[in-house]
């Protein structure tokens, strides 16, 4: 099992760690909207091998023709496996959980030029960027089925 999967499994079992030693329950976000709205944005803007398209990143993203669970599948133009989509979904949930406001989620704050340092530079020039707005809407809306990851 890859390191990122171990971390995700541990976080699922206990929620995210709170600096004071407690846990914070993971958010329940819409999986269907993730697959149709958020995943394509991540694949296009974040999954470059020099960025989050690699296993050594705390926030790693699988994408077609890029980083894959099976290295032999890399560079193949085929849909992600369910386990790869689940990995990406959980990573986004984890990086969206501890924020007081959806716009403060690390998933949005780091790639936004003015919010926080992002080693990969600016991904969203402003909070008016259409992709930023789509991810913000996803984070701000709880899963209609109430499915907790």
Q: What is the pLDDT of residues 60-72, one digit of tens each?
A: 888 888 888 777 8
- Mean pLDDT score of the chain, rounded to an integer? 77
Task: Give 103-144 pLDDT, tens digit per residue.
Answer: 889 889 878 866 665 666 677 888 899 999 999 999 998 765
Instruction: Report residue 109 as tokens.
Output: 């704050």
Instruction: Report residue 73 as tokens.
Output: 């599948």
Altogether, the residues listed in the chain come to a count of 149
Domain ranges of the chain: 3-15+26-140
pTM over 0.85: no
Which phi and psi (to 5°) does residue 87 adopt? -60, -50
| 8 within 8 A of 94, measured Cβ to Cβ | yes
- 140 contact partners, CB below 8 Å, separation of at least 6: 102
């Amino acid at each position: 099992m890859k390191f990122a999967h171990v971390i995700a499994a541990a976080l699922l079992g206990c929620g995210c760690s709170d600096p004071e030693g407690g846990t914070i329950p993971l958010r329940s976000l819409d999986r269907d909207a993730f697959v149709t709205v958020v995943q394509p944005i991540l694949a296009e803007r974040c999954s470059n091998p020099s960025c989050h398209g690699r296993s050594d990143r705390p926030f790693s993203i699988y994408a077609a023709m890029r980083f894959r669970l099976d290295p032999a599948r890399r560079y193949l133009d085929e849909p992600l496996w369910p386990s790869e989509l689940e990995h990406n979904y959980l990573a986004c949930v984890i990086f969206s959980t501890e924020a007081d406001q959806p716009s403060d989620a690390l998933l949005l704050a780091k790639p936004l030029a003015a919010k926080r340092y992002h080693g990969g530079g600016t991904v969203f020039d402003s909070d008016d960027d259409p992709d930023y707005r789509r991810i913000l809407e996803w984070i701000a809306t709880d899963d209609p089925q109430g499915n907790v990851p």
